[in-house]
Structure formats: C-alpha cells, structure tokens
C-alpha cells in the first residue's frame, strides 16, 4: 500500500458530497489515513456554508464530513513556501488565486499530492504534484 499523502481541494470535496463516482472510488482506494484537508480548504467550505440558504443544515453536514478527515493546520513551513511561490508568480506576471496558492503551498509543505479539478491554476505552482480525480 502506498504511503503517499493526498491533500484534497474544496472542489473535490464538493464532488464527493454530490456522489461523483470517480472521486468516491479514489477516496475508497486511498483510505482515510492517506487523505488530508488543509485548514484553508476548511475555510473555503465554511464560507460556502455561510453564504448558503440552508446554513444550519449545511453546517451540520460540513461538521460530519470534517469528522472523517484529518485536517492539517496551515503552518509556518507552508507560509515560507507560499512567500517564495507568490513572489515568483507575481514577478512572472502569472499570479493565481490566493486560496489556491495557499492550498498548493500547503500540499508542498506536507509533501502531498494536491487533488483538484482546477489543475490549470495549480499547475503554475512550481514542484507541486497534482492529480485530478474527476477525469
């Protein structure tokens, strides 16, 4: 069994919640011990709950979902990687969204594969390993 760590982007969690067969299959193949969420992803998901029309129901569903994953705090190591990547991307004139950059840099700090359906943005992060479980 592989010991690779997979950090899931918010869009992958949403696909899982909606029952996407490919995502659910890959999650089952990996096992919960190999899948983590960034606290930045949790913040994005919480924002989705906050702006929804069914806050109470969605908040309960999010808490239930989060209880089945390891959540990794965004730390100083991720911050330094973020600073270098952000500077490089801005200097090159190819910046990406702040949250995506934070998530990708967190994956780098954890030596994890970043799983997203938004590879176009994330592929600009130098050295980041990417997978798209939707395809």
pLDDT of residue 135: 81
Angle at CA of residue 74, ends 60 and 32, nearest 5°:
55
pTM: 0.93
Q: List CB contacts of 68: < 8 A, sequence separation 6 or more.
A: 32
Give me the percent of the chain exceeding a pLDDT of 70. 99
Cα–Cα distance between 130 and 122 in angstroms, integer?
8
Long-range Cβ contacts of 94-98 (<8 Å, 24+ apart): 94/124, 96/121, 96/122, 96/124, 96/125, 97/121
pLDDT of residue 1: 47
- Name the superfamily (CATH) of residues 6-131: 5'-nuclease (3.40.50.1010)
Using alpha carbons, list the distances in angstroms from residue 116 to 5, 80, 93, 131, 134.
Answer: 14, 22, 23, 6, 8
- 31 phi, psi to nearest 5 deg: 85, 150
Averaged pLDDT score across all residues of the chain: 94
- 4-51: pLDDT as tens digits: 999 999 999 999 988 999 999 999 998 889 999 999 999 999 999 999
Q: List CB contacts of 15: < 8 A, sequence separation 6 or more.
A: 23, 117, 133, 134
Q: List CB contacts of 131: < 8 A, sequence separation 6 or more.
A: 6, 113, 114, 115
- 52-63: pLDDT as tens digits: 999 999 999 999
- 7 phi, psi to nearest 5 deg: -100, 120
């Amino acid at each position: 069994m592989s010991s690779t760590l997979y950090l899931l982007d918010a869009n992958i969690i949403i696909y899982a919640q909606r029952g996407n067969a490919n995502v659910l299959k890959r999650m089952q193949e990996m096992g919960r011990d190999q899948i983590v969420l960034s606290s930045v992803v949790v913040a994005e998901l919480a924002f989705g709950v906050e702006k929804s029309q069914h806050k109470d129901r969605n908040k309960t569903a999010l808490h239930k979902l989060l209880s089945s994953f390891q959540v990794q705090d965004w730390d100083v190591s991720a911050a330094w990687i973020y600073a270098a990547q952000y500077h490089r991307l801005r200097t090159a004139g190819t910046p990406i969204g702040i949250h995506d950059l934070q998530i990708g840099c967190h994956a780098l700090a954890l030596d994890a594969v970043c799983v997203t359906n938004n590879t176009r943005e994330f592929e600009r992060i130098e050295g980041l390993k990417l997978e798209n479980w939707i395809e």
